[in-house]
Chains A and B, each alone.
Chain A
Amino acid sequence: RKEVEQDPGPFNVPEGATVAFNCTYSNSASQSFFWYRQDCRKEPKLLMSVYSSGNEDGRFTAQLNRASQYISLLIRDSKLSDSATYLCVVNRGGSYIPTFGRGTSLIVHP
């Protein structure tokens, strides 16, 4: 099992749709979780950290399920500008070493 796994997609959704991505991780000792966004031919940028109790930032909601070892990202009311690749990042258990998932591609169309 890979350290961090994501469905590569692409997820093709109309504007206004709600879309959810999952990411699974293999190391049960991992403590830090993030979602990054990467636009085409650009660098990754932090979208949001993921906290144990779940957290929300505007239209974006992140959840952590430690028992099943997955994190999720929910995007409500999708905008054209949400089109990007969403990278799941998990720090290896007991260390700062970040492991990136391969990313999930989202395409929002009019």
Chain B
Amino acid sequence: DTAVSQTPKYLVTQMGNDKSIKCEQNLGHDTMYWYKQDSKKFLKIMFSYNNKELIINETVPNRFSPKSPDKAHLNLHINSLELGDSAVYFCASSARPSGGRDIQYFGAGTRLSVL
């Protein structure tokens, strides 16, 4: 069983379209994240939800809207896609143990190409 699964694995779309990426974790974690890894391989946190509540929003454009229907799911909807949105998007989850030693478990990534 995959611990953190995200779909689709590949997404090719035209500029201006709206698309969604889904993520589910079966680890029982309370916290989920979305990261973006650009062509230079720089992995940057976008959002974090703890028990369905948004706790981190790293100055991401409003076109990106995360939604967490329950603590096991965190979906990412992107409106009006732009060329610069092309990247690999990773979902992750963590258990948030006390002391801040917060280990991230990543999904396999969604490769988004905007044409």
If A43-B90, A43-B107, A44-B106 touch, whether A96 touches B40 (CB-CB below 8 Å) is no
Binds A, one of B41-49, B66-74, B78-86: B41-49
Size category, B interface: 20 to 34
If A43-B90, A85-B41, A102-B42 touch, whether A32 touches B102 (CB-CB below 8 Å) is yes
Contact B41 A31 (CB under 8 A): no
If A31-B100, A43-B90, A91-B100 touch, whether A102 touches B106 (CB-CB below 8 Å) is no
Given A43-B90, A44-B43, A100-B35, 12 other A-B residues pairs in contact with their CB atoms under 8 A? A32-B101, A42-B109, A43-B107, A44-B90, A46-B103, A49-B101, A85-B41, A91-B102, A97-B56, A100-B43, A102-B42, A103-B43
Chain A to chain B contacts (Cβ below 8 Å), 22 pairs:
A32-B100, A32-B102, A34-B103, A36-B104, A43-B108, A44-B43, A44-B106, A46-B104, A49-B103, A87-B43, A89-B104, A91-B100, A96-B94, A96-B96, A96-B100, A97-B48, A97-B56, A98-B45, A99-B45, A100-B43, A102-B40, A102-B41
